[in-house]
Structure 1
């Protein structure tokens, strides 16, 4: 079992990481109750010390430091040590700290890691805290943002809660209103949405000289809105050879290789579609709500819209993202650690700090539909983000499997389709067997830890 865990966690971990090995995900100790502490109270005059570890660019670090300062002002008996680790090194750093018996009290936990860390007993079950705490009302939180951190030992979405969302990220279509006006294009509305054909027509019309109509269209949006997915409902078999899937993939590819409305792969490598949009040389692009602060610096008028519906189904879909705030089950101050995680995730002042700096959409629904929607900074159509969270956003398929190696394999040669060297059907047929083999390994690894 230790050998299996070493492979799963991609590091040479000691016995500390095996806490809970061979068991169902560990339950929260009583110390996770609101206001409780997992250790005896500090001596008179001493403060409770918490280690908090995250990643982020300078703007995110500054925002979280401001929120930590707010937490320490409200909880003067607690001091927080903020550790920042590059995102690419974070998982390995966390594993090494667990192995050394020095796991942070509160730490970022990508949704892709929830299953492996819960299965090895390294995440505190926060369910009782969520249901009874003094910081937030769970009914005022986007349901998806809580449910994606549930894990019952078999699948995400049900069971105990192992993290709180540090943010919620909606993925919408941003468009250059100046280019739309010049081309005589009327953007869609919620009552009159676009379908794929409308989007394609606009992208072609916007393409002119050194201006492209669109960046690469979201494959998730196209596939899911067309009633398809990468895997079957049980997440045990590949499903991307389905004609509904290949139709969606071919639509995305044709925007580049047939319509020439999106930059080529070579052009994308030299200047990303995001940078091209920021320079006013691209009409439409899928963009996350985390880019809001950047968009405020645009020298042209812009807004966001919902993703188009499939002409076959009339449905729309896209992914939404989140990184979690998890608590160590070995924390000596579990109650204070839960309070810190909840404060950073849901405190009104902290959320106001985050959205007013363009970092995120509020995790609090009443704030999102209230003061955030009334904010005079863009986007004007804030429902373009909020509709994803409230209505048609979905957790990425690869995040629902124990590891993502099969996903990397599927995408390893997909530029051949985007560049017109293979049809979508040819590519998907060729990838079915190798992807299935990696998916089978992922399932075996998950089963090995659930015994």
Structure 2
């Protein structure tokens, strides 16, 4: 079975089915009692996010008088339920969208171009992170420019965390919050942290516990490698720089033994071990902060270790909020979008819940000064947002299959049975075939728009 990403992109065939249904009309807009307006908002998230939205939406209703019917799902259910709503012509007035779905939904008339509404709304769009806004721009051919089809609910700088308590107990100097480890330095510290701390003859503490799907990007980019050419036409993984990065990742387990073994990971996965205080280094996204607030150890953020470029690298996620092209209440739908994305009160509710960084730069500049809540080094999140964070490789391609193929048969590399260079040489032509197909789908969709 092909590996799918959390932000899986809509494939051409499925998109076509959905878009035909959507274009035939239908919306879940309703009228409340006594003719009052009511719109629907569909989103995904955990309990903390649900409570934060209940607060923000109650404030929106109080300000505007517009009722909002909330449809919440778990992250795993969201994509399936949204597609079912579109196919059944019950498109929510307002809903979450990932960047990878923008082209298909815009070309098929599922989401509306909200540019005019946004420009007339009066808020300063320049105060929202540029990466977030540009992720939802599309001019019919190129994503990242043109009309606005959604506003960011958030941006998610994928940062690197470390167990500060573990360092202090081991007598190891704390990492520099401004200067990344080199790979050699990182390995040395990770090995020092990997040990049998209770003397029973078995390891119970490890330096690392990284997942290849979400952490190989930081290593590859910092080593001068990439997945795709700038023009989006050519897969570029079969290079010495990418091979070095992928091999280094595999070596953390097989050569340096700083990661729990397969058997140890089956007993307790690395996320659970991090939560128990058994892992020294682990990734941290803003969505983790509310959960990590309950940890029994002290932790903070640092830059990812850097490869031959000497510069740290990582990716930024984002979720957007879009309006249905078939909504009966377009003004109210966009008003809700702008409220959730750009209203300071609403933003504070979401930030206080520990599920995201502020969407507004002006708010973030004050938020970063708060040392009373974790992480202490909030500046690392902002550094990623402002300077060196990148979009995931398939965010602006019509389909993610080419990128997913990179991970499909990667396990032998992680097990040390195949070298990274051998694997990449075999993977590149397969990935290129999927990318060619995605670009062809994009051209057809654009021509038919």
Scaled by the length of structure 1, the TM-score of the pair is: 0.88
Choose which of 258, 262, 266 in structure 2 pairs with 1:265: 262
How far off is 1:396 after superposition?
0.2
Cα distance in structure 2, aligned partners of 1:86 and 1:356:
21
Aligned-residue Cα RMSD (Å) equals 2.3
In the alignment, which residue of structure 2 is the partner of 1:151? Answer: 138
Structure 1, 59-68 or 422-431: larger mean CA deviation: 59-68
Cα distance in structure 1, aligned partners of 2:116 and 2:276:
49
* Aligned: 1:328 with 2:324: yes
Cα deviation digits, residues 351-394 of structure 1 (max 9, x gap): 11111111111101121120353151111111121111111111
How far off is 1:341 after superposition?
0.9
Cα distance in structure 2, aligned partners of 1:73 and 1:375:
33
Cα distance in structure 1, aligned partners of 2:376 and 2:78:
36
In the alignment, which residue of structure 1 is the partner of 2:242? Answer: 245
Choose which of 363, 366, 369 in structure 2 pairs with 1:367: 363
In the alignment, which residue of structure 1 is the partner of 2:39? Answer: 50
How far off is 1:220 after superposition?
0.4
Partner-residue secondary structure (3-state), 1:368 = helix
* Aligned: 1:235 with 2:235: no
How far off is 1:52 after superposition?
0.7
In the alignment, which residue of structure 1 is the partner of 2:107? Answer: 119
Q: In 1, are the aligned partners of 2:177 and 2:301 still within 8 Å (CA)?
A: no
Cα distance in structure 2, aligned partners of 1:102 and 1:43:
17
* Aligned: 1:450 with 2:437: no
Cα distance in structure 2, aligned partners of 1:305 and 1:19:
50
How far off is 1:12 after superposition?
4.5
Partner-residue secondary structure (3-state), 1:322 = strand
Choose which of 406, 411, 420 in structure 2 pairs with 1:424: 420
- Write out aligned runs for 1:427-442 (5 A): 427-442=423-438
Partner-residue secondary structure (3-state), 1:373 = coil
Choose which of 64, 67, 73 in structure 2 pairs with 1:75: 64
* Aligned: 1:340 with 2:336: yes
* Aligned: 1:215 with 2:212: no
Partner-residue secondary structure (3-state), 1:398 = coil
- Write out aligned runs for 1:79-98 (5 A): 79-98=67-86
Cα distance in structure 2, aligned partners of 1:202 and 1:435:
35
Choose which of 379, 388, 391 in structure 2 pairs with 1:395: 391
Q: How many residues align?
A: 424
How far off is 1:125 after superposition?
1.0
- Write out aligned runs for 1:155-304 (5 A): 155-209=142-196, 210-216=204-210, 218-304=215-301
Q: In 1, are the aligned partners of 2:134 and 2:145 still within 8 Å (CA)?
A: yes
Q: In 2, are the aligned partners of 1:126 and 1:160 still within 8 Å (CA)?
A: yes
Cα deviation digits, residues 14-62 of structure 1 (max 9, x gap): 7443479xxxxxxxxxxxxxxxxxx9xx899532110111122222222
How far off is 1:9 after superposition?
2.3
Partner-residue secondary structure (3-state), 1:166 = strand
CA change 1:269–1:385 in 2 (3 A) is farther
How far off is 1:450 after superposition?
1.0
In the alignment, which residue of structure 2 is the partner of 1:411? Answer: 407
Partner-residue secondary structure (3-state), 1:358 = coil
Cα distance in structure 1, aligned partners of 2:295 and 2:341:
29
CA change 1:13–1:391 in 2 (3 A) is closer
CA change 1:85–1:11 in 2 (3 A) is farther
Cα deviation digits, residues 154-209 of structure 1 (max 9, x gap): 33211211111112211111111111112232233354332222222111111112
Cα distance in structure 2, aligned partners of 1:197 and 1:13:
49
How far off is 1:96 after superposition?
3.6
Partner-residue secondary structure (3-state), 1:223 = helix
CA change 1:261–1:14 in 2 (3 A) is closer
How far off is 1:6 after superposition?
9.0
Cα distance in structure 2, aligned partners of 1:283 and 1:6:
38
Scaled by the length of structure 2, the TM-score of the pair is: 0.89
Cα distance in structure 2, aligned partners of 1:44 and 1:204:
65
CA change 1:75–1:202 in 2 (3 A) is same
In the alignment, which residue of structure 2 is the partner of 1:30? Answer: none
Structure 1: stretches of 5+ with no match in the other structure:
21-38
Structure 1, 151-160 or 203-212: larger mean CA deviation: 151-160
Cα distance in structure 2, aligned partners of 1:269 and 1:407:
26
Structure 1, 123-132 or 175-184: larger mean CA deviation: 123-132
